[in-house]
Structure 1
């Protein structure tokens, strides 16, 4: 269960279609998904005790989705101290049956986009970084533009060319025994999570990625993979878009994806402190002078709900990937893993 490490995969798929000329990144999303052409924005009173809706003055673009500046949120963040406005949005999402892609659900991403089209945004598109369901919307964009399901597009255009045979939205029965269990910390140690865990807004399941094939192809959280598979995607990016003769993206598109695209807008608590910004699906590190840690400026990374993480350091030609299955997790093991990798480098590129 790589959860949000699905997002860079979705970004690659979108950028493949971008390279083919199907759209420009600044095109309005409503041009392809008319459900999102005209949206309202949730506006709070001064004391956050009541909310009104105002018509959005800024069209949502494909770039906004790729950079999580669309104004679309996540329901689960309403449980994690996101403030009264975000909690209100989470309530509206819950009333509409919108989840985060982490629980068993057979609704399609087309149905998700239709539902989102009836709900307000957290802010004007482009006004701020707000982590959310933008990648699920991008998955639907891929379907509309390509004419095939998101699952089929990824399988035929990305996973098969890269030899990622163990990466999919639903793990088949023949591989189910290989799925790692999910654990949660308790006072007596780690305990295995069985079934579904439900909070006020956070709902996740240990079995959402297994069982019979379903129709919910979440571009933000739906994939399961292995370290061996996922590192092939990362090596492709480090190589400038190519691996073993399979050209997925051009080097310039990889540079675009891994460069800061949000200016000086704060990327929020989801992005680790000291990061220099956010690209098209990945966070960018600022280097030792910015984040006070080992690593190079321009290295990029992302992580997943169940405490998985990767990073790519082009300057050192280094890839790191760590897969655990613990929620809630901490960054401690991730930080130590990065430290162990970087302190071992004694010859610089």
Structure 2
């Protein structure tokens, strides 16, 4: 296809990845008028507000497709609302088995692998990272946030980075999609790029080759200063990507193999990939960049960058997954580690990992999670746990109601349209109508 200049509309690597990296909508399902009538006996597939919103966006050609998946309690069956086609101009219909780039929705999966290792005694929640990765023993920290990387702006870390901090974005590590100063430039210069978007160049961002392994990622990351003192501030970070290296060191085998052996395989998530097999191209959606209300295919399915093996398995943003598969992950969480008769994770791993495990010392003021909690890679609000992805996906599980819910579409930046952020509120509206009806 011809090269399209996205710079006028502000589409950059930072903008397309930032903003969709959480479950927008803030409150998730907190404050909804839940009641016993909404528990296991409510198996209605009627979600009128969700369906109407999807129909509006698809009919107006803002998005090619959207699938909302829902499941109740321990029923393995999930149902969907929505539709559309895998790409604009395609006749192939999107459904629960279509494949979506879920980006940061990978983080809770990685987080639950870590929680299982903690429950098995192979890691400690408050264990220093340097016990596993000694290169992080003597970290330097910027005195001025996002300031210069010079000796006069650096000081020693006052406390060690811990596993808890990696899981909750309180380690002080940066993120090239968040930082705006020299740390961002250093991440790019060193190839600390834990994610991928497109084969085509992104205007304003030089093409960088990521470091070639998780080991190299971790060793290189240890040479870059932290942006905050460990444990003092919530700041979205590469912590879950670094956790991938921790996991493979502890287990003595590749991180992606550990994830498969521990969660993906036992949970029956056979449509979840770091590399999409050629045989599955026919299920893969196209990802679009949105500039001034216009959609441009930045990652067409037939030539997707996800068809190639990534530089390393990105524990923070690497999975391509079907809505059906991610619902199975949510089912494992809702089942306190079980799906059907299969025990995937320990009950303790799920209970702790989906609870608020933020360090008491962490300041949340002005952050995405102010007034809320954070678990192992996902937001915690009341009895709900979830997170979202940079290409406008979102998912959560609500332990109070027994609801599993996911939203899947493909466009960047995720805040180009409001529908990702509206999803929890639309779900709340439909549930309230059921309850009051």
Cα contact 2:141–2:229 (8 A) shared by 1 = yes
Q: Answer yes or no: is 1:36 the counterpart of 2:136.
A: yes
The correspondence for 2:121, drawn from 21, 31, 36, is: 21
How far apart in 1 are the matches of 2:241 and 2:294? Answer: 34
Query: Any idea what SS the aligned residue of 2:273 has?
Result: coil
Q: CA deviation at 1:132?
A: 1.1
Query: Any idea what SS the aligned residue of 2:411 has?
Result: coil
- Output aligned runs, 1:258-297, within 5 Å: 258-262=354-358, 263=360, 265-266=363-364, 269-271=367-369, 276-285=372-381, 297=382
Q: Answer yes or no: is 1:333 the counterpart of 2:429.
A: no
Q: CA deviation at 1:136?
A: 1.1
The correspondence for 2:157, drawn from 35, 41, 56, is: 56
1:96-138 residue CA offsets vs partner (Å, 9 max, x unmatched): 1211312574611110001011111111110111111111111
Q: Cα distance 1:151–1:194, how it changes in 2: closer, same or farther (>3 A)?
A: closer
- Residue equivalent to 1:66: 167
The correspondence for 1:312, drawn from 397, 418, 421, is: 397
Cα contact 2:125–2:163 (8 A) shared by 1 = yes
How far apart in 1 are the matches of 2:112 and 2:366? Answer: 23
How far apart in 2 are the matches of 1:178 and 1:267? Answer: 42
Query: Any idea what SS the aligned residue of 1:44 has?
Result: coil
Q: Cα distance 1:316–1:37, how it changes in 2: closer, same or farther (>3 A)?
A: same
How far apart in 1 are the matches of 2:403 and 2:104? Answer: 21
- Residue equivalent to 1:89: 183
1:113-168 residue CA offsets vs partner (Å, 9 max, x unmatched): 01011111111110111111111111011100111101111112211111000101
Q: Which runs of 5+ in 1 are unaligned?
A: 79-85, 196-205, 286-296
Cα contact 2:119–2:348 (8 A) shared by 1 = no
Q: Answer yes or no: is 1:119 the counterpart of 2:220.
A: no
- Residue equivalent to 2:324: 228
Q: Cα distance 1:188–1:143, how it changes in 2: closer, same or farther (>3 A)?
A: closer
Q: CA deviation at 1:232?
A: 0.2
Q: Choose between structure 1 and 2 for higher RCO, CA contacts under 8 A separated by at least 6 residues.
A: 2
1:166-211 residue CA offsets vs partner (Å, 9 max, x unmatched): 101111111123221111223353221148xxxxxxxxxx833222
Cα contact 2:275–2:307 (8 A) shared by 1 = yes
Q: Cα distance 1:269–1:226, how it changes in 2: closer, same or farther (>3 A)?
A: farther
Q: CA deviation at 1:252?
A: 3.1
How far apart in 2 are the matches of 1:50 and 1:113? Answer: 19
The correspondence for 1:6, drawn from 106, 109, 117, is: 106
Query: Any idea what SS the aligned residue of 1:90 has?
Result: helix
Q: Answer yes or no: is 1:131 the counterpart of 2:236.
A: yes
How far apart in 2 are the matches of 1:56 and 1:336? Answer: 40
Query: Any idea what SS the aligned residue of 2:329 has?
Result: helix
Q: Answer yes or no: is 1:207 the counterpart of 2:304.
A: yes
How far apart in 1 are the matches of 2:123 and 2:383? Answer: 27
Q: Cα distance 1:24–1:129, how it changes in 2: closer, same or farther (>3 A)?
A: same
Query: Any idea what SS the aligned residue of 1:234 has?
Result: helix
Q: Cα distance 1:193–1:269, how it changes in 2: closer, same or farther (>3 A)?
A: farther
How far apart in 2 are the matches of 1:53 and 1:61? Answer: 20
Cα contact 2:190–2:211 (8 A) shared by 1 = no
Larger radius of gyration: 2
- Residue equivalent to 1:323: 408
Query: Any idea what SS the aligned residue of 1:344 has?
Result: helix
Cα contact 2:356–2:380 (8 A) shared by 1 = yes
Using structure 1 for the length normalisation, give the TM-score: 0.84
Q: Which runs of 5+ in 2 are unaligned?
A: 1-100, 200-209
